[in-house]
Structure 1
Amino acid sequence: MKDKKTTSKTLFDDSISGLASETVNQTVNELADQESLSVSDFIRQVNQTVKNRFGRGVWLHGEIQEMKTPNHVYFTLVDQDGDKKAVLSASIWQTVYASMRVTLANSGLQLADGLKVRVFGEPDLYPGNGRFSIKISKIDPRFTLGDLIAQREEIVRQLKVKGLYDANRKVETSLVPLRVGIVTSIGSAAHADVLKTFKDSQIGFTIFVHDARVQGEDAIKSVVAAIKNLDARKDLDVLMLVRGGGSKNDLMAFDSAQIATAIANCRLPVLTGIGHEIDLSVADEVANQSHKTPTACATAVIEQVREFVDATEEAWAGVATFAMRELEASSSQLTERANRISSKVLDALASASKRLAMTAQRIKHRPAEILRLEKSSLDALADRLRLLDPVNTMARGWSITRNALGGVVQDATKLKAGDKLVTTFANGSATSTVQEISTKGKPNGKK
């Protein structure tokens, strides 16, 4: 026997089951009365509705991604709004793209991933796979150019805010930049032109080339790495960033904030030679110097070295000229002094010769007088000698007395009694002994 709860549950379940069955039957009957569409009919009707609304075409703008160009052009048009992303498949028939390329080329553009475009086309829902797309027939280059300009201006503004815009222009350049680092695509025309220009200069440059991709998806990353690697070297004087010409979007990498920042942060002066003669890229603006072509960039480095060489040669020429003037002035002064000395010597010789001639003349005219005077002097001297001759003096009664030692006795006070004396006369001598000494009449002693 079932309890009360079990009975109640069974009655409830039966009621629900009956109600559900009635609802399902009613829904099935109602749906059976409604018309259904096949998938193809549904897509066809939706497509028609879209064509009724946008049958004459519509202008859309977005960024090109995943572009493919086997024959016709296929890409995804993307609209990114924060975290939200809208995607639409797009296509351009080959015949349309042929004329569109000319329009773009006239503005220096070409379709590529990352390019923001404004295009006109007809929306289409393909029945085969239900894919919604737009068939593009026109493009507005002005929109793309305006967007590129706006992006560029914002990058420049940010660089100025960060103090990077003119940082590399403040880097002092070497007086003689003979050691050159070059960032370029090895094997490119720009690479060949630069090397030829340096070689033709016949100056002893040392060149370091760092390979880099200069366009395409990896260009920014590749160029930044090359700049940093060369700037880290201690054996370089200058860094060059060069590539050949191309469309605006070929050169888009050089408008990037990353490359501009790498240039601004370089310790070396950076010279750009990006092959475009109309517009300056952001890289050109922040570089120490910018030139229109790779060849012009290399020529600028060569001219700087030549200017130094010319200035050095001019300075040496100035030194040589100054030295020559000084030598000439010194030579002139030396010649003048030599002439003065020579003149004085000649004057002195002339004066001496004149005096000698006068002396010779006097000697010539007065020999007898001179001889007479000299003879008179000699006679006087002879007379004096005769008077002073001791023999003559003794002949007149004078004598000379010497002591025992042979010394001449001149002072009586020097004698004493008993001293032996020798007296010399004109005709002989006599020996005597002192017995008594008297001075001025007074006896001094006796033996």
Structure 2
Amino acid sequence: MAEQGALFEQEETFTVGQVTARVHRAVAAAFPAEVWVRGEVDGLRPPNAGGHVYLSLSEKARGRDNATLGVVLLRQSRLRIERTLAAHPGFRLTDGIEVRVRGRVQYGFGRIQLVVSEIDPVHTLGRLAAARDRALAALAAEGLVGRNAAIPLPLAPLHLAVVTSDGSAACHDVLHELESSGIGFRVRLVDARVQGHGAEASLLAGLTRAVASRPDLVLLVRGGGSRTDLATFDSERLARLIAGAPVPVLTGIGHEIDSSVADLVAHGAHKTPTACAAAVVEQVRAAAARSEVAWGTLAARAAAAGQAAERALEGHAVSLASVAGAAVADAQQRLDLRAGRVTGTASHGLAAGEARVQERARRLERAATRDLDLAAVRLGDAVRGLDPGRLGRQLDRRSAELGAAARRLVQAGGAVTASRAGALDVLAARAAAVDPARALARGWSITRTAGGTLVRSVADADPGTSLRTTVGDGTVASTVDPELGAAHPPEEQP
């Protein structure tokens, strides 16, 4: 053990200060002057109480940090650099962008860091522009630039998915614009980072969730910023996802100078989140206005069609009433004519039949009288030429024959009378069937002038003419009105 301890004591041993001093000298020897260093900004923090800014520069390999170097912007250098960068409004130091900085490599407080004295904004902006151009060229070559724009925009998009940073000014502006419109939008808010480390992956995941909710539209929005702030929206991966989305994607990315790659592949691009939301509101209002116009036109056409149908129906009704009135008048006229004919025929037939029966009865009576007279004469002759006994017997026989003949005559006369009476009954039944009284009982009426002339047409009744209308239960008196041309009951009956 003693030998081993002595061996350890013989090896050179450095103090902490000696090691740090040597490292300091080595670093100073390796980097005797300021150098340019490029890398991706990471962990950028606001100025501390002393006004200094700390961050890291990283070098990535296959998506992972391969090397990291601490960076500090001392207050005086930071103020000078900020004045220089003011001439390049498209540049702003932020996480995730590649920068080229100049500074002094030094060792202190146990670590190596770069004390920056200058930042090259042209390098950063140039690389961003070059990456943007490469992405656009690749998308155009595959026909993706206009793919999302070819999707028909819904007439009234009411179901919306908004992809943005929850709680940001952009989020507030969009929701306020939609709410103040008074339209019943259904909004799904999808939170996503819009700049810095992890922004691309967050936007890709957020847009995927938004599309999966099957909205009418997707609104991809963020507030204003510099070119470097908006670098994430030049991502080729994000642009491909927008181009392939099955629903229209509208962008509202706050910039005024140029367009991002996301703007160019989206269905529509707007300068601000508020403008993007306002475009959706205007789309819905325009659809509502077109709907109102269409309904108004439809209602007007329906009303016009209804009025035309009503006029046509009224015309048909007037025509039908005219035809029906003419038909009724014609039927009334034919009925009156037939009733008159039947009544006359029946009366004449009855009178003629009665006359023929009476004539035949008189003929029978005269014939019987002649026969009796002749028989009496013959009987007297026979009495004078015969004896009383024989005469009595012949008289009895002739009397019997005469009685039988008289009976046959009476029977024949009765049969003829019965036959004629049956014929008269048939004629009476026919006359009763067409009796005008029956027609009057069924609701018909017969109108005559005061002189008894039958009124068959309005031409038969001049204004002021007195009329007598016979109905089923009596007669109504009326006078043709000189102004209306229609008959009405007189104010006083005579």
Which of 147, 157, 171 in structure 1 is aligned with 2:151? 171
Offset, 1:322:
1.0
Q: 1:107–1:141: 8 Å Cα contact kept in structure 2?
A: no
Q: 1:122–1:135: 8 Å Cα contact kept in structure 2?
A: yes
**SS class of match (1:217):** coil
Within 2, Cα distance between the matches of 1:351 and 1:379? Answer: 31
Q: 2:139–2:145: 8 Å Cα contact kept in structure 1?
A: yes
Which of 80, 97, 101 in structure 2 is aligned with 1:115? 97
Cα displacement string for residues 337-368 of structure 1 (whole angstroms, at most 9, x for unaligned residues): 45556667788899999x99xx9xxx9xxxxx
Which of 60, 66, 81 in structure 2 is aligned with 1:100? 81
Within 2, Cα distance between the matches of 1:166 and 1:95? Answer: 49
Q: 2:24–2:106: 8 Å Cα contact kept in structure 1?
A: no
Q: Which residue of 2 aligns with 1:216?
A: 196
Offset, 1:230:
2.4
Offset, 1:148:
0.8
Q: 1:429/1:126 Cα in 2 relative to 1: closer, same or farther (>3 Å)? A: closer
Give 1:365-404 correspondences, 5 Å limit.
Answer: 381-389=353-361, 392=364, 395=368
Give 1:35-114 correspondences, 5 Å limit.
Answer: 46=29, 50-51=32-33, 61-65=38-42, 67=44, 69-70=47-48, 71-76=51-56, 90-105=71-86, 106-114=88-96
Q: 1:423–1:429: 8 Å Cα contact kept in structure 2?
A: no
Which of 221, 227, 233 in structure 2 is aligned with 1:248? 227
Q: 2:107–2:113: 8 Å Cα contact kept in structure 1?
A: yes
Q: Which residue of 2 aligns with 1:329?
A: 308
1:193 and 2:173 equivalent?
A: yes
Q: Which residue of 1 aligns with 2:187?
A: 207
Within 2, Cα distance between the matches of 1:123 and 1:376? Answer: 152
Offset, 1:92:
3.0
Offset, 1:149:
1.0
Within 2, Cα distance between the matches of 1:85 and 1:202? Answer: 53
Q: Which residue of 2 aligns with 1:406?
A: none
Cα displacement string for residues 241-268 of structure 1 (whole angstroms, at most 9, x for unaligned residues): 2222223222222222232232233222
Offset, 1:166:
2.9
Paired residue type of 2:246: R
Q: 2:44–2:94: 8 Å Cα contact kept in structure 1?
A: yes
Offset, 1:91:
4.1
Offset, 1:178:
1.6
Within 1, Cα distance between the matches of 2:351 and 2:24? Answer: 178
**SS class of match (2:160):** strand
Offset, 1:75:
4.5
Offset, 1:319:
1.1
Which of 287, 293, 314 in structure 1 is aligned with 2:293? 314
Q: 1:390/1:245 Cα in 2 relative to 1: closer, same or farther (>3 Å)? A: farther
Cα displacement string for residues 210-251 of structure 1 (whole angstroms, at most 9, x for unaligned residues): 2222222122222211221222224x2222222222232222
Cα displacement string for residues 90-132 of structure 1 (whole angstroms, at most 9, x for unaligned residues): 543322322433443552322123322344x464556997958
Q: 1:205/1:390 Cα in 2 relative to 1: closer, same or farther (>3 Å)? A: farther
Identical aligned residues as a percent: 36
**SS class of match (2:218):** strand
Which of 262, 268, 271 in structure 2 is aligned with 1:283? 262
Q: Which residue of 2 aligns with 1:269?
A: 248
Q: 2:224–2:255: 8 Å Cα contact kept in structure 1?
A: yes
Q: Across the two proteins, how many residue pairs are aligned to each other?
A: 348
What TM-score results when the alignment is normalised by the length of structure 1? 0.63
Q: 2:248–2:267: 8 Å Cα contact kept in structure 1?
A: yes
Offset, 1:274:
1.9
**SS class of match (2:161):** strand
**SS class of match (2:294):** helix
Q: 1:191/1:384 Cα in 2 relative to 1: closer, same or farther (>3 Å)? A: same
**SS class of match (2:213):** coil
Gap runs ≥5 in structure 1: 1-37, 52-56, 364-370, 399-421, 431-447
Q: 1:191–1:243: 8 Å Cα contact kept in structure 2?
A: yes
Q: 1:130/1:62 Cα in 2 relative to 1: closer, same or farther (>3 Å)? A: closer
Q: 2:58–2:65: 8 Å Cα contact kept in structure 1?
A: no
Cα displacement string for residues 409-433 of structure 1 (whole angstroms, at most 9, x for unaligned residues): xxxxxxxxxxxxx998563359xxx
Cα displacement string for residues 385-406 of structure 1 (whole angstroms, at most 9, x for unaligned residues): 23444982773769xxxxxxxx
1:230 and 2:230 equivalent?
A: no
Within 1, Cα distance between the matches of 2:282 and 2:403? Answer: 119
Q: Which residue of 2 aligns with 1:26?
A: none
Cα displacement string for residues 258-297 of structure 1 (whole angstroms, at most 9, x for unaligned residues): 3223223322222222222332222222222222222222
Q: Which residue of 1 aligns with 2:9?
A: none
